[in-house]
Amino acid sequence: MRNSCIRLRQLLRSKMTNSTLPTHFDGEIDLGIIGGTGLYKLDCLEQVAILPEVQTPWGKTSSPITISKVTGGRNPFHVAFLARHGLHHQYPPSKVPFRANIAALKHLRCKAVLSFSAVGSLQSYIKPRDFVLPQQIIDRTKGLRDHSYFNDEGLVGHVMFGDPFSRSFADYIHGFHHVLENPDSPLPCLLHHDRELTVVCMEGPQFSTRAESRMYRNLGAHVINMSVIPEAKLARECELPYQMVCMSTDYDAWKEHEEPVTVESVMSHLANNGRNANSLASNVVQSMARELPEFMKSGDGLKGSVKFSISTKPEAMSKETLQKLRFLFPDYW
Ligand SMILES: CSC[C@H]1O[C@H](OP(=O)(O)O)[C@H](O)[C@@H]1O
Ligand SMILES: Nc1ncnc2[nH]cnc12
């Protein structure tokens, strides 16, 4: 009786995800991938399960999580993919359930998170369709987003965030710069990589004014989006090495004699960016499957860091708080 109930539940769930794949996965996941605007699935990987929107102590993830298996190494390598804005792009940037998304990837025991984002370029040399591996962030969000797991009364924590991305992960991704293509243009697609590259995160959903766009250039920023905050902060609070691949779609609003960015201008580059994101992810993942990079084995210097950033004594935390934290760190408290 119990087994037939479970089978029925699984059948109903697979109907919800329109797939005959299992809706649970018991193995260990190696890499989490977050797709942004225009990247709602990865075509390059063999899917083995689809977890319907995962329930976490911080709500449900923005999309089902697709688990894929990559063979070729000594052990199978597993990837968990989720779509930041939902499969139908239903979550605006200020309402993406960022905490649930990162918590789910942490709970699945991902060893790192690779994130993709469509961005506006604030510099002439970063052309639409170029990719950028930023190493710094300027936060211009407006405090509307839940941006921490450690910002409740009775649970205070301060993680370091001076270097918000993983340098080792960026170096690793840059090793595959040659896979980017631009078949219908004489211009090559470049993968910009430098320790000063800075992404501004604005609240949106409206794009910037020309004055704001010029101000961000004066601040020394290179690209702009609406999603790296709080994603990068939450990944850090989960001790997850995190790197965003920014995919340029437009020149924002700073170019004096050009029209400011519109959704149409963004869309016109999404197909090419999506193809390049797929080949980049496929190459990165296959290489990781052959041999796990050192930063994923070691945790990139982040392992254990959170335990020592919490100021509140465990005796002062409520049972409910501790229970939530155990979803992220089953071994710490
Ligand atoms: C449709 S353009 C603005 C939108 O695109 C980017 O989304 P994502 O970072 O998820 O690729 C940007 O952050 C905005 O949310
Ligand atoms: N110009 C822009 N500003 C903010 N987010 C973006 N995503 C793509 N282009 C963008």
Does 263 contact ligand 1 (Cβ within 6 A)?
Answer: yes
pTM of the model: 0.94
Phi-psi region of 254 (alpha: psi -120 to 50; beta: other; left: phi over 0): alpha
pLDDT of residue 18: 63
- Of all ligands present, the nearest one to the C-alpha of 94 is 1
Which atom in ligand 1 lies closest to the alpha carbon of residue 84?
10
The pLDDT assigned to 6 comes to 45
Residue whose CA lies nearest to ligand 2 atom number 7: 119
More confident: 218 or 152? 218
DSSP 286: H
DSSP category for residue 258:
S
Model confidence over 22-75: pLDDT tens digits? 999 998 899 999 999 989 988 878 899 999 999 999 999 999 999 999 987 778
Note if 26 is an active site residue. Answer: no
Average pLDDT for residues 125-148, to the nearest whole number?
Answer: 97
Binding-site annotation: residue ranges for substrate: 226, 250-252
Residue 324: pLDDT band with limits 50, 70, 90: very high
Contacts of 218 (CB under 8 A, 6+ apart): none
Q: Which pLDDT tens digit goes with each residue over 276-288?
A: 999 999 999 999 9
Q: Is the pLDDT of residue 4 over 80?
A: no
Residue 44's pLDDT is 76
Could you tell me if 37 and 118 are in contact, meaning their C-beta atoms sit under 8 angstroms apart?
A: yes
In the set 30, 130, 139, 252, the catalytic residue is: 252
- The closest alpha carbon to 197, from 173, 164, 168, 229, belongs to 164
* Sequential DSSP letters for 28-80: ---EEEEE-TT-SS-SSSEEEEEE-S-EETTEE-SS-EEEEEE-SSSS-EEEE
* Ligand 2: lining residues by beta carbon, under 6 Å: 118-120, 202, 207, 224-226, 249-250, 252, 261, 266
Q: Which long-range contacts (CB under 8 A, 24 or more apart) does 175-182 make?
A: 175/287, 176/280, 176/283, 176/284, 176/287, 179/276, 179/279, 179/280, 179/283, 180/131, 180/276, 180/279, 180/280, 181/272, 181/275, 181/276, 181/279, 182/129, 182/272
Residues 6+ apart with CB under 8 A from 10: 22, 23, 24
Closest by Cα among 31, 76, 91, 63 to 243: 31
The 3-state DSSP class for residue 160 equals coil
For the question of residue 130 being annotated catalytic, the response is: no
Q: What stretch of H or E contains 81?
A: strand 77-83
For 294-331, letters b (16+ CB in 10 Å) and e give: ebbeeebebeeebeeebeeeeeebeeebeebbeebeee
For a ligand 1 pocket test, name from 34, 117, 263 the mutation site with the most ligand atoms within 8 angstroms of its C-beta. Answer: 117
**Whether pLDDT at 258 is above 80:** yes
Give the pairing of strands 77-83 and 65-70: antiparallel
What are the pLDDT digits (tens) for 167-214? 999 999 999 999 999 998 999 999 999 999 999 999 999 999 999 999
* Residue 12, pLDDT score: 45
In this prediction, residue 1 carries a pLDDT of 46
Predicted pLDDT of residue 17: 55
Domains and CATH numbers, the chain: 6-328 (3.40.50.1580)
The ligand placed nearest to the CA atom of residue 250 is: 2
Q: How far is the CA of 277 from the centre of ligand 1 (A)?
A: 15
Distance of CA 115 from the midpoint of ligand 2 (Å)? 16
Q: What is the Cα–Cα distance from 200 to 31, expressed in whole angstroms?
A: 25
